[in-house]
Amino acid sequence: MNYLELVQIAEKVALAAGELLLDRPANLEVSTKSSEVDVVTQMDLASEALITSMLAQLRPADGLLGEEGADVVSKSGVTWVIDPIDGTVNYLYGLPGWNVSIGAQIDGQSVAGVVYAPLLAGGTIWSATLGGGAFVAINSGQPQKIKVNNPIELSQALLATGFSYSRETRREQGAKFAKLIPEVRDIRRFGAAAVDLCFVAQGVVDGFFEIGLKPWDLAAGGLIATEAGATLSNLSGDPADESFTIAAGPHLHANLLKLLN
């Protein structure tokens, strides 16, 4: 399997979806999903429709799994895991950080991934292939290889986090936040998990933690982070359990696990 071909396809499709999303209508039609603050717009749906249509043309035997409902069983062994707008609330409010996230998986393992944030630094694209490292291209520039900050001590760590739309889950994460904030340099909130993971990969932040991420939050960003040298796991150290996600360089990751447990 040519992972580089998959990442090139993901980048082409993500750029097309980003162009669609930049042509934002004056009035967004907003509905809710899991809670009153978990929103979806007509642009989420339009972006997923564009992405799935392009992937179906380019790779007709592949499977599809999207946040807004795409669900096609793979005949080739490759499944595309799609977040058509990661950070929809940012998009709704006109804040940067929202992105298009596209990952290709084989047997549940990400092998190629692209995260495209059109409003960050004139357009930022992160990409990775399994075993091939992680890269960032800023404002149409050439891709540059990236790596996590390591080793970083807990007291010097700048972390990123996000919060679930579930009130119960927010209470749980609030307790973890309270435990961490006296022990670290500071905590940032960017509003989009895929970008948080890419910021870890790029060394913009030192680590990331969040409760309740979904496969489409992690498929591309998780691969980019790990290919840049991050350790990614839940609280027990299991990389396959998405109930609580911690991503950081190995030294900081170990200390975050100790503190949070």
Q: Hey, where are the domains in the chain?
A: 3-145, 154-260
Mean pLDDT along residues 3-18: 98
What's the CATH number for 154-260?
Answer: 3.40.190.80
The terminus-to-terminus CA distance of the chain in angstroms comes to 39
Of 26, 4, 259, 260, residue with least CA distance to 129: 4
Segment 18-43 shows an average pLDDT of 81
Q: Which pLDDT score is estimated for 69?
A: 86
pLDDT band, very low/low/confident/very high, at 242 (cuts 50, 70, 90): low
Could you report the per-residue pLDDT of 158-177, keeping only the tens digit for each? 999 999 888 888 898 899 89
Instruction: Return the pLDDT at 34.
Output: 64
Residue of 107, 124, 102, 99 lying closest to 58 (CA atoms): 102
Give the model confidence (pLDDT) of 72-107 as tens digits. 999 999 999 999 999 999 999 999 999 999 999 999
| CATH architecture of the domain with residue range 3-145 | 2-Layer Sandwich (3.30)
pLDDT digits 0-9 by tens, 211-239: 989 999 999 999 999 999 999 999 887 77
Provide, rounded to the nearest whole percent, the portion of the chain with pLDDT above 90: 81
What are the distances in angstroms from CA 95 to CA 89, 157, 186? 8, 25, 21
pLDDT at 109: 97
**Number of other residues whose CB lies within 10 A of the CB of residue 175:** 11
- Return the active site residues: 67, 83, 85-86, 88, 217
Mean pLDDT of the chain: 94
Q: What angle do CA 133, 17, 27 make, to 5 degrees?
A: 140
d(CA 187, CA 15): 30
Lowest mean pLDDT among 36-45, 49-58, 179-188: 36-45
Mean pLDDT of 108-134: 97
Question: 148 in helix, strand or coil?
Answer: coil
**What pLDDT is recorded for position 166?**
82
Which one, of 223, 228, 234, 227, lies nearest residue 257 by Cα? 234
Confidence of residue 62 (pLDDT cuts 50, 70, 90): very high
Q: Which of 20-24, 34-38, 49-53, 186-190 has the lowest mean pLDDT?
A: 34-38
Question: Is 4 in contact with 68 (CB distance < 8 Å)?
Answer: no
Specify the pLDDT at position 38. 60
Considering only CA atoms, which of 164, 150, 136 is closest in space to residue 38?
164
> From the CB of residue 70, how many other CB atoms can be counted at a distance below 10 Å?
20
